[in-house]
Amino acid sequence: MENNTSSIFNFNMDEESRSLLSSISLWANINAIAGLVSAALTVSFFVVTLVRLSRLGGSASDLMGLMIIWPLISLMVSLAVNIILLQAASNIRKGIDTSSQEYFETGITKLAVYFRIVGIVTIVVIVFVVLAFLFSVLAMRGTGF
C-alpha cells in the first residue's frame, strides 16, 4: 500500500522559507503573550475601579452589574483569542523544528481560527461604533444642537 499523504516538507522548503515561518511563529508568540499580559492588567485596573466605585455607594453601585458584563465578555474573548494564537505559534514552531506535518497543520488551523475570530470581533466593533455615531448624530439633531 502506498502512503499518499502530502506534506509541505516534501516541497523541499529552503532555509529562507523556514526562517520566515519561524519568524511568524516568534511574532505570534510575542503577540499572544503581550495580549495575555494586557488582559491581566485590564482585569487588575477593572478591580481597582470597581473597589473605588463601590466606596461611592448609591447610584454608582446600581450600575455595577451592567459595568461587569462588558469587561467579562471582553476578557473572555481576549483570553480565547490569545490562547489560540499562543497554541498556533507553538504548533507551527514544533512543525518546523521536527518537520512534522501534523503539528504544522494544527498550527495553521489554529492561526486561521484566530484570524476568523479577530475578523468577526472587528466587524462587530465597527458596527457598534457606526451605530453609536448614528445615535449621537440623531440625538444632537433632536436636542437642537
pLDDT digits (tens, 9 = 90+) for 45-79: 888 877 777 777 655 555 666 667 778 888 899 99
Query: Cα 11 vs. chain centroid, distance in angstroms?
Result: 32
C-alpha cell at 129: 461604533
Neighbours of 66 (CB within 10 A): 8
C-alpha cell at 134: 448614528
Evaluate the CA torsion angle 73, 75, 78, 83 in order and state its sign. Answer: negative
Instruction: Summarize pLDDT for 15-51 with one digit per residue, the tens.
Output: 888 889 899 999 999 999 999 999 999 888 888 877 7
Neighbours of 81 (CB within 10 A): 20
Q: How far apart are CA 93 and CA 33, in angstroms?
A: 15
pLDDT at residue 3 tops 50: no
**Reported pTM:** 0.75
Domain ranges within the chain, ordered by starting residue: 13-118
